[in-house]
Chains A and B, each alone.
Chain A
Amino acid sequence: MFKELDPILHSQLRLAVMSLLISVKEAEFTFIKEKTNATAGNLSVQVQKLKDAGYIDVTKQFKDNYPLTTCKITKAGVNAFEDYVQVLQDYLKVSKKNA
């Protein structure tokens, strides 16, 4: 019996954000937007969903008088990401066997 894929992570843009954040200490919103090619509005919504799930921390501050949003993955986010990858690998193992 498969564990279900985490619905918060099983969305292309949210998974892209988490995959970016898993390997860095923190990243600015503009960096994530640039790397994912998402629109600011859509990205804001998905970042908020990840924040509500407790997977990322979002810090808003000012840098040179401009608003600056920084995102950082949390411990819960790392665990959820690792679980998600594990479930994906289980799926792929079984589908290879059945092929």
Chain B
Amino acid sequence: MKTEDKDFDPEESLALIRTMIETTKASIKDSSHYFLLWGWATMIGCIIQYVLLNVVHYKHHYYAWFITPVALLIHVFFLVSDHKTEKVKTYISQANSYLWMAIGFSFLVLAFIFSRIGWQNSFPFYILFYGLGTSVSGALLQFKPMVLGGSSCFVLAAFAAYIPYDLQILLTAFAILVSYIIPGHLLRLRHRHFNQNSL
């Protein structure tokens, strides 16, 4: 909108305030690439591990998770390139960053804990954290598909405790599909739609 330095009446003032606040709402950056990166990386990790464990019967089936450092490198690349283009910091994007930083550390600590006590019961906890992160992120971004996908992980995490380890791997892949991948693609569509309309 075109703004000039002139006086104006109260209605115009309120209209201007409303328009500018709407404008900043539209400036919430598209974070779908992070959800898609980790969603697809984890999904691929689960499928490779399942195949190595049940089809190939390979002893070191957990090698599938060497995909994590690769995803981490791509994540750092995304962070650096986003930092270069970021012109505005919103409270929502900051809250999201803190949330995922805390969840990232939780994953690290979980990896440490399970390497000590055994990985056989690890998946329900990972699913629980996927649910926590995506449901809160979805609420912050006011994006219902992510809230719903994330919330469904709470049920899936509890269910995972009742099924054998190899099926837990597949259930984790499903949890990732509903909490990261599908909402991630929908979030991307929403941003594209929004950008097209604001042109």
Binding site for B on A (CB under 8 A): 5, 10-16, 19-20, 22-28, 30-31, 34-38, 42, 46, 63-64, 84-85, 88, 91-92, 95
Give every chain A residue within 8 A of B91 (Cβ-Cβ).
23-25
- Per-residue CB contact flags for chain B residues 1-13 toward chain A (1 = under 8 Å, else 0) read 1111111101111
How many Å lie between the Cα of A46 and that of B3 in the bound state?
12
Main secondary structure, interface of B, reads helix
Give every chain A residue within 8 A of B24 (Cβ-Cβ).
20, 23-24, 35
Main secondary structure, interface of A, reads helix
- Besides A12-B6, A19-B17, 6 more A-B contacts (Cβ < 8 Å) are A12-B12, A19-B20, A24-B24, A31-B87, A35-B23, A91-B10
Binding site for A on B (CB under 8 A): 1-8, 10-14, 16-17, 19-21, 23-25, 27, 84, 87-91, 94
Give every chain B residue within 8 A of A28 (Cβ-Cβ).
87-88
> Is B17 in contact with A42, judged by CB distance below 8 angstroms?
no
> Is A37 in contact with B13, judged by CB distance below 8 angstroms?
no
